[in-house]
Amino acid sequence: MAKEIGGMRMLRIAEGDFADEYTCKRTPDVTFATGETQSNHKGEYMVMAILPTSGMMDVEYVGGDHVGETQRLDMEDQGRVIRRMRNERLREQGVRPTLTRGSEEIFSVALLAGCANLHAQVPSDEEIQVARRYQSLAGVDPGGDPNFEVSPEGTNKWHHQLRFRLPVRIGPEVAETLSFGEGIRAIRRRDGAYEVNDTRLAWHLVAIGFRLGHAHDVARIRDAMCQTPSDRERFEEGLAAAGLPHAASLGAGGWMISMS
């Protein structure tokens, strides 16, 4: 028997049947899917075939110095490589990794991308430091942004705080199901609206495309969170819950969401 993948006929072999996806056991935040791309230290590659019984996959390099080369890779080993490379990129930006890209996190991050307002409250003695950090991640100076609130000297504010505020229309039936790992959830405010108040998470999200206010780079965020077609479907569910149209209806390429 044979399977058609990317215009190639891949023969079934004794190692086991083909699979469309494989989630690593040791790094469950990494999933491989046929026809999707990942990267290692040699460059970007496309997954051509997954052999779950042996834990191997056949890939073809589509980026870097090895374009056109094929290789059989151990998926568990590659999962560790991918996680390490992701975390290294974040740490190089001064960000402590926090998200694991599980299904509930993908939905939750997508909902924030679709409707949440990011607000920073900063004591005056941290203003320069926090502004520089934000600019290094977002490429924009936050000075003058109404969502970059500097607390006057002498107020009871010891450390900077970044929080996401959800609109009142996102009720408890949705808000209370949101999950961002490590027990981080949306909490209800006195006015009935919800917010996600975790500065470490917020910095991670800024690194993948969130911005002060509502002008989040949704396409970039989706690329950072999604590895498979099912991930992208879950992301679209989060956008829909936020009240946004399906991404496909907004055209190809990068796009920003602004609710101002």
For residues 157-170, give the mean pLDDT. Answer: 90
For residues 162-176, give the mean pLDDT. Answer: 94
Alpha-carbon span 176 to 129, nearest angstrom: 33
Name the burial class of residue 190, with classes exposed (0-12), middle (13-18) and buried (19+) by CB atoms within 10 angstroms of its CB: exposed
87 and 138 part of one domain: no
**Residue 158: is its pLDDT beyond 50?**
yes
146 and 229 part of one domain: yes
Last residue of a domain, one of 92, 121, 138: 92
**Residue 43: is its pLDDT beyond 50?**
yes
pLDDT tier, 222 (very low <50, low <70, confident <90, very high otherwise): very high
How confident is the model at residue 153, as a pLDDT?
74
84 and 107 part of one domain: no
**Residue 165: is its pLDDT beyond 70?**
yes
Per residue in 106-148, pLDDT (tens digit) is 999 999 999 999 999 999 999 999 999 999 999 999 999 999 9
Q: Which residue has the tokens 């990794």?
A: 97
Last residue of a domain, one of 44, 66, 92: 92
How confident is the model at residue 162, as a pLDDT?
96
Strand order across the beta sheet in which 148-151 lies? 148-151, 117-123, 161-165, 194-196, 187-188
| 107 vs 183, higher pLDDT | 107
Predicted TM-score of the model (pTM) = 0.82
How confident is the model at residue 100, as a pLDDT?
84
| 168 vs 156, higher pLDDT | 168
Nearest to 120 by CA among 1, 206, 25: 206
Provide the domain limits for residue 142.
103-250
**Structural domain includes residue 13:** yes
84 and 134 part of one domain: no
